[in-house]
Amino acid sequence: MQGTEHWAKKGDARLFLWRKPAAGGVTSRGTILFVHGSSMASQPTFDLHVPGRPDSSVMEWFAGRGFDTWCMDNEGYGRSDKSRPINFDIANGADDLAAGTEVVLRESGAKSLLLYGISSGALKAALFAERHSERVARLALDAFVWTGAGSPTLAERKKKLPEFQAKNRRPIDRAFVRSIFARDHPGTADAATVEAFADAILALDDSVPTGTYVDMCSKLPLVDPARLPMPTLILRGQYDGIAGVDDLIEFFKRLPNADKQFSVMAGISHASFQQKNYLTVYHLLHAFFTQPDPVFSG
């Protein structure tokens, strides 16, 4: 399936967007924007192709079901500008989404979007949704963290906080990408997928910004659930070391819209679309994004 590149402007920064339209060119289900995490750009996460692994590209899977699908490289990642001497934190990522969604809405003709974010991308998506709720029809937050309570991964990461605060970028390599899948529960992803994911990430970046790590280790909470009025889905992998269950439940309880769901995904750790059980994630997202609005609200 062919994709097309698009560009947004945020001040002097150019932001790369990638689009895979609905099969047949007819959008019948809505427009999705996928938001990537701290250590990789968008195409490796959402448009990955692995030989022998059907439907590895979540964008193509949803495009084949009538959705117009988009992703964007945040500033500091992938094909977007990396020139400013800053650490590209979560607030900056939400600013990126403000600029990027203007392009997505204009090009797609949609009035509002179906928004998915994973890990720090979920924080960026939620913060953007706070600021621009009128642009978000439904919000899906995967591997999300609210206060950070109960997160063993963040507890370990905080030990290196001074190092992250001292520089704007941190190096990544193949060993680092492999560690994403080994740290929580080995075996949740197959080796071929991990290697293909690493190939795609490292083809675009050999370092990534430190800003999201600094924020997640020292500035949480960054999102107020009471300011998210749209229907919201919380996704949490069974073995995810970032997203503490009790922390997420407290966040979930404070979401004001009764049209909300909390799903624990069996056998999945942190990077859900690269897991052996990735079709579980597709199913949950598809059901949420196609759910009809309630006729009666009481």
**Domain count within the chain:** 1
pLDDT for the residue 206: 98
> Residue 1 — very low, low, confident or very high, per pLDDT cuts 50/70/90?
confident
Q: What angle do CA 116, 67, 258 make, to 5 degrees?
A: 50
Which of 20, 216, 219, 208 is closest to 107 using CA atoms? 20
Predicted local confidence at residue 204, as pLDDT: 98
47 within a domain of the structure (yes/no) = yes
At a CB cut-off of 8 Å and minimum separation 6, what does 88 contact? 74, 75, 76, 77, 168, 209, 211, 212
Asked if residue 271 is part of any domain, the answer here is yes
Could you tell me if residue 144 is inside a domain?
A: yes
How do residues 171-180 score in pLDDT, each as one tens digit? 999 999 999 9
Q: Is residue 87 part of a domain?
A: yes
Position 297 scores a pLDDT of: 85
Q: Tell me: the pLDDT tens digits for 190-224? A: 999 999 999 999 999 999 999 999 999 999 999 99
135's CB contacts (< 8 A; 6+ apart) are: 101, 105, 112, 113, 129
**To the nearest whole percent, how much of the chain has pLDDT over 70?**
100
For residue 184, what is the domain's CATH number? 3.40.50.1820
On the question of pLDDT at 298 being above 90, the answer is no
Residue 259 phi, psi dihedral angles, 5° rounding: -80, 80
Check: CB of residue 277 under 8 Å from CB of residue 267: yes
Residue 93: both structure tokens together: 């990522």
pLDDT over 90 (residue 280): yes
The 10s digit of each residue's pLDDT in 109-139 is: 999 999 999 999 999 999 999 999 999 999 9
Q: Which domain does 28 fall in, by range?
A: 4-289
Q: Does residue 296 belong to any structural domain of this protein?
A: no
- The predicted-structure confidence for 224-268, as pLDDT tens digits, reads as follows 999 999 999 999 999 999 989 999 999 999 999 999 999 999 999
pTM of the shown model: 0.98
Question: How many alpha carbons lie under 13 Å from residue 161 in its C-beta half-sphere?
Answer: 12
